[in-house]
Amino acid sequence: MKRYLDDRVQADLAKKMVFLTGPRQVGKTTLSRHLIAQQGGQYLNYDVPADRAIILHQRWNPLAPLLVLDEIHKMPDWKAWLKGVVDGKLATQQLLVTGSARMDTFRQSGESLAGRFFGLRLHPVSVREWCEQTGAEPDAALTHLLERGGFPEPCLAPDNEQAERWRRQYFDGLVRNDVLEFSRIQEVNAIRLFAELLRSRVGSPLSLASIGRDLAVSPVTLKKYLDILEALYIVFVVRPFHDNIARAVLQTPKVYFYDTGLVVGDDGLRFENLVATALHKHVQWQHDVQGQETGLHYIRTKDGAEVDFALSLQGQLTHLVECKLSDPKPHRALLRFAREQPQAQAVQVVRHLPHSHALGEIQITRADEYLKRLAA
């Protein structure tokens, strides 16, 4: 299946090296091989011993139109090494670097790569992408993604049984193998247990102190575990909006999974997670492709008023988004913040709704229509 970033990656490669990151099995290798099939090239994976030897000795074909290097962030001092590769390669050779862990989490010393690359993040399939690639109607696309999640393999699986088998193996493999890039083997079980607990706490303000008491682990250690799960693109964190960035970082975050299929809970919880993944993809497309300083947040006051999501541009609120399964009545907190923040578009996104309509400051919108209109 062609992905939404195929054309953008190809366009950016004509100008600079491209870093393509994202969750494991989200489609980075398929995208890379699709580009190689189109224009010719060579794919090398640092995890494969034979490929690793070629990478370390730089014995790839210097005339290959496209060189794809996967997982090289596992190499010591990879930034300095890669800078040498970029500066020494032929101008006609394009370079695509891919990885399933965030490259900015690796703090090896070395030369800066600033100005030498474009960074793009590949996300799971969204309602918009499924509609564009399969011709499905938005409501059918939303139903399918709520059932299967947005990762290509379960999304394209012939039945739910195959999708669930993939998911079990995927989650076990991530926690068992990839966590070791960041942590000691003795911590793997603790991180797995923490990840399992998070599956049922999606969308709620996350108290690491409370979870720490349950697991007999310090909040500082849990913060490290959360950073690992985020770095591996298992979860992403949504923080409360505040015009003081330092205060926003310190306040209680909410956590969502890249794979909606991993969420343990009712239909409302899975729906909120799917909307979160769609907004996260939308915001990062605007950041990576359009160069906009965008952000995804939520709003919560000391008196308990809360709106599920808020979008910002250059630190200013632009959108307020509340998720509901079937309730068309305007959410009280959404009404309040719509009046307090008149520059922000207020939308109540409803999964089961006969038709979209406006009620005062609030747009009551069918979820399938809203998600179809997002940027990616």
Please give the Cα distance from 250 to 248 (Å, whole number): 5
Three-state DSSP at 307 gives strand
pLDDT tens digits, 24-44: 999 999 999 999 999 999 999
Inter-helix orientation angle 208-215/219-231, to 10°: 110
pLDDT tens digits, 156-199: 999 999 999 999 888 887 777 777 667 676 788 888 889 999 99
DSSP designation for 252:
P
Q: How confident is the model at residue 248 (pLDDT cuts 50, 70, 90)?
A: low
Tokens of 165: 């088998």
**Average of pLDDT values for 52-72?**
96
Q: Which helix (H) or strand (E) holds 202?
A: none
Annotate 28-89 with three-state secondary structure: HHHHHHHHHHHHCCEEEECCCHHHHHHHHHCCCCCCCCEEEEECHHHCCCHHHHHHHHHHHC
Query: What pLDDT does 242 receive?
Result: 80
**Average of pLDDT values for 294-306?**
90
Please give the Cα distance from 274 to 260 (Å, whole number): 6
Q: Which helix (H) or strand (E) holds 166?
A: helix 160-177
Please give the Cα distance from 230 to 21 (Å, whole number): 13
Q: How confident is the model at residue 306 (pLDDT cuts 50, 70, 90)?
A: very high
| pTM of this structure | 0.94
- Per-domain residue ranges of the chain: 6-121, 127-372
Q: How confident is the model at residue 112 (pLDDT cuts 50, 70, 90)?
A: low
Q: How confident is the model at residue 101 (pLDDT cuts 50, 70, 90)?
A: confident
- Name the residue type at position 218: S
Please give the Cα distance from 285 to 287 (Å, whole number): 5
Three-state DSSP at 256 gives strand
Tokens of 289: 């492709």
Please give the Cα distance from 259 to 256 (Å, whole number): 9
What Å distances lie between residue 135 and 1, 31, 128, 131, 151, CA to CA? Answer: 13, 20, 10, 5, 18
Tokens of 149: 């999640």
Query: What pLDDT does 171 receive?
Result: 83
Q: Are strands 94-99 and 316-324 parallel, antiparallel or unpaired?
A: unpaired
Most distant CA pair in the chain, distance: 65
Q: How confident is the model at residue 246 (pLDDT cuts 50, 70, 90)?
A: low
**Average of pLDDT values for 272-285?**
98
Average pLDDT, the chain: 91
Instruction: Output 248 or 253, whichever has higher pLDDT.
Output: 253
Q: How confident is the model at residue 100 (pLDDT cuts 50, 70, 90)?
A: confident
CATH 3.40.50.300 corresponds to the domain 6-121? yes
- Name the residue type at position 11: A
Please give the Cα distance from 286 to 59 (Å, whole number): 37
Buried b (16+ CB within 10 A) or exposed e, 155-183: bebeeeeebeebbeebbeebbeebbebbe
Query: What pLDDT does 115 receive?
Result: 79
Buried b (16+ CB within 10 A) or exposed e, 124-143: bbbbbbbbeeeebebbebbe
Q: Token match 């979820």: residue? A: 367
Query: What pLDDT does 74 receive?
Result: 87
Query: What pLDDT does 148 receive?
Result: 95
Please give the Cα distance from 307 to 296 (Å, whole number): 12
**Average of pLDDT values for 197-224?**
92
Tokens of 154: 């379960």
Reply yes or no on whether the pLDDT at 204 is more than 60.
Answer: yes
Share of the chain above pLDDT 90, in %: 77
Reply yes or no on whether the pLDDT at 370 is more than 50.
Answer: yes
Main-chain phi, psi angles of 66, to 5 degrees: -135, 130
Sheet containing strand 362-366, strands side by side: 254-257, 235-240, 294-300, 306-313, 316-324, 345-350, 362-366, 357-359
DSSP designation for 253:
P
Tokens of 348: 């109540």
Least confident of 105-114, 132-141, 148-157, 355-364: 105-114
